[in-house]
Amino acid sequence: MSRPEIEIRDLHKSFGDNHVLRGIDLEIGQGEVVCVIGPSGSGKSTLLRCVNLLEEPTRGQVFVGGTEVTDPDVDIDAVRRRIGMVFQQFNLFPHLTVTENLALPQRRVLRRDKASALRIAAQNLERVGLAEKATAYPSSLSGGQQQRVAIARALAMGPEVMLFDEPTSALDPELVGDVLAVMRMLADDGMTMMVVTHEMTFAREVADRVVFMDGGVVVEDGTPEQVIAHPRHERTRHFLSRLLDPAMADVEEGTADQVGRSDPAGGRD
């Protein structure tokens, strides 16, 4: 593996009595695409948010590009400028056009002049296939188009790493494909990506590695062939069987999963 672009060491996170992350160790190399899968409540999104300190770990270390994010003296704003993040929700400003949504953070955070910000906005809208929507407002776009704008906005900041937290979960099924196509393009371009997802086709075809989490720990970590096609652990097999063929799940198991053996306090994903 190439040098770690993201390195996570013995990471713990608790919300009160709910111990969500229980000693995560994980490395993601430069240019790698790593998909994190697992049941609700397993700690996937919490782990992702700890990478750029949107959640502060209870214990452990996180490094991005060799800089320790968890160092109390770190310039976290400088680190975050190297990390793009795309959430489940699009978080676009409704009163701004698509171009203005891309230009505003460049000017506010990176202090780019207006002409440069507009030029980079146009380049990234072209990159995600939405050049014709430059003057549109978010309300006129489909959910898939809004998510592609959100990806373009993150890319316009020039990140070295992209984090995706279930980027297609809020979309109608017919809109998922266009967003995943953009993410495939980024992978082909060599972007380092950490993706929390339930899209198994994407994980199979695009990921270099798949990490299965349950109960706040990494249960399996390997190639898509190893983890999805030939999982070693019963917990992984059970999760994949429910995800790929929900009709096979019985009511009792479904109830147990809703209560969440890995998240008994009803805590966070």
- pLDDT interval class at 248 (50, 70, 90): low
- pLDDT interval class at 266 (50, 70, 90): very low
pLDDT tens, position by position, 180-216? 999 999 999 999 999 999 999 999 999 999 999 999 9
How high does pLDDT run on average in the chain? 90
Alpha helices (runs of H) in 72-197, residue ranges in sequence order: 76-80, 98-109, 114-127, 143-155, 176-188
Q: What is the pLDDT of residue 170?
A: 86
* Contacts (Cβ under 8 Å, ≥6 apart) of 119: none
pLDDT at 54 over 60: yes
pLDDT at 256 over 50: no
pLDDT at 268 over 90: no
Enumerate domains of the chain plus CATH numbers: 1-81+191-244 (3.40.50.300)
Q: What is the pLDDT of residue 247?
A: 62
Q: Say how far apart CA 220 and CA 223 lie, in whole Å.
A: 10
pLDDT at 55 over 50: yes
Whole-model pTM? 0.89
Length, in residues, of the chain: 269
- pLDDT interval class at 242 (50, 70, 90): confident
Answer for the pair 211, 221: CB distance below 8 angstroms, yes or no. Answer: yes
Q: How much of the chain, in percent, has pLDDT values that exceed 90? A: 84
- pLDDT interval class at 72 (50, 70, 90): very high
> Between the CA of residue 68 and those of 10, 64, 83, 88, 239, what are the distances in Å?
14, 7, 13, 26, 33
pLDDT tens, position by position, 151-170? 999 999 999 999 999 999 98
Q: What is the pLDDT of residue 260?
A: 38
pLDDT tens, position by position, 15-32? 999 999 999 999 999 999
